[in-house]
Chains A and B, each alone.
Chain A
Amino acid sequence: MTRLIWAFTMIIIAGALAFAFAQRDTFVYQTPFPVDSLDPAQAYDTASGVITENVFETLYDYVGESVTEFQPALATSWTASDAGDQFTFTLREGVSFHSGNAFTCADVEYTVKRMLVHNPSDSGVWFMAESFLPTQANANAYLGDDATDADYAEYWQWIDNAAVCADDFTITFNLIGPDPAFFTKMMSNVAAIVDRDHAIANGLWDGTEATWRDWVGVNLRDFALHNNPSGTGAYRLVDWDGSTAVLEAFDAYWDGVPPIRNVVYEIVEEQSTRLLAVQAGDADRIAVGDRATLAQIRGAPGVTIHEDPSWVSTTVGMIFFNHNINTTDNPDVGSGMLDGRGIPANFFDDADARKCFAYNFDQDAFIAQVLQGEGAKLTMGLPTGFLGYDPDLPMYNVDFEAALVHCEAAHGGAMWEQGFEFTATYNAGNTTRQAALEILKDNIEFMNPAFRMNVRALSWPDYLAFTDEGKGTMFALGWAPSYADSDYFVHPFYHSEGFYAGRTGINDPVMDDLINQARLTVDEAEREALYSQVGQRAYETMPMLPYPSPTTFIVTRDVIEGVYLNAMYSGQFLWKDISKR
Chain B
Amino acid sequence: MKIGFYPGCSMKGGAREYQESVVALAKVFDIELVEIPDWNCCGATAAHNLNKELSLSLPARIMALAEKEGITDIVVPCAACYNRLSVTKHELAEDASLCSKVTGIIDLKYSGKTNILNIIQFIDKYITDKLEEKVVKPFNYNTACYYGCLLVRPHAILNFDRVEDPQSMDVLVKKSGGNAIDWAFKTECCGAGMSVSRTDTVARLSGDILKDASDRKAEVMVVACPMCHSNLDMRRPEINKYLDEKISMPVLYISQVLGLAVGLDAKTLGLNRHMTEVILPDKPVKNAEPAEVSKKVANPEKMEA
Indicate whether A and B interact. no
Q: Mark B residues whose CB is within 8 Å of A.
A: none
